[in-house]
Amino acid sequence: MSVSLSDLRRVSVVGVGLHPYQRPSATPYTELGVHAIRAALRDAGLPWSAVESAYTGTATTAMGLSRLMYRHLGGSGIPMAQVENASASGSTAFRHACHEVASGLVDVAIAVGVDKPLVFRPPRSAAGVVDLVGSRVAPFTAFALMANRYMYEHGATAADFARVAVKNSRNGALNPNAQRRTPRSLEDVLSATPISGPLTRLQCCPIGEGAAAAIVASDDAIERLGLDASRSVRVLASASRSERMHRAEDVDTALTRETTRVALEEAGVTPRQLDVVELHDAFTVEELCYVEAIGISPPGAAPRQLAEGELDIGGRVAVSASGGLLAMGHPIGPTGVGQICEVTTQLRGEAGERQHPGARVGLAHMVGVGSVCLVHVLARE
- In percent, how much of the chain has pLDDT > 90? 84
Radius of gyration of the chain (CA): 19
The pLDDT tens digits for 158-171 are 999 999 999 999 99
For residue 326, the one-letter residue type is L
Q: In the CATH hierarchy, which fold is given to the domain comprising 139-177+234-379?
A: Peroxisomal Thiolase; Chain A, domain 1 (3.40.47)
Domain spanning 5-118+207-232: CATH superfamily = Thiolase/Chalcone synthase (3.40.47.10)
The structural domains of the chain, with segments of one domain joined by +, span: 5-118+207-232, 139-177+234-379
Long-range contacts of the stretch 134-140 (C-beta < 8 A, 24+): 138/196, 139/282, 139/283, 139/369, 140/195, 140/196, 140/199, 140/204, 140/283
Decide if 5-118+207-232 and 139-177+234-379 have a common fold: yes
The pLDDT tens digits for 289-327 are 999 999 999 999 999 999 999 999 999 999 999 999 999
pTM, full prediction? 0.95
Cα–Cα distance for residue pair 277/326, rounded to 1 Å: 14
Cα–Cα distance for residue pair 347/359, rounded to 1 Å: 5
Confidence check: pLDDT of 137 > 70: no
For residue 148, the one-letter residue type is N
Confidence check: pLDDT of 249 > 80: no
The pLDDT tens digits for 166-198 are 999 999 999 999 999 999 999 999 999 999 999
Cα–Cα distance for residue pair 53/130, rounded to 1 Å: 40
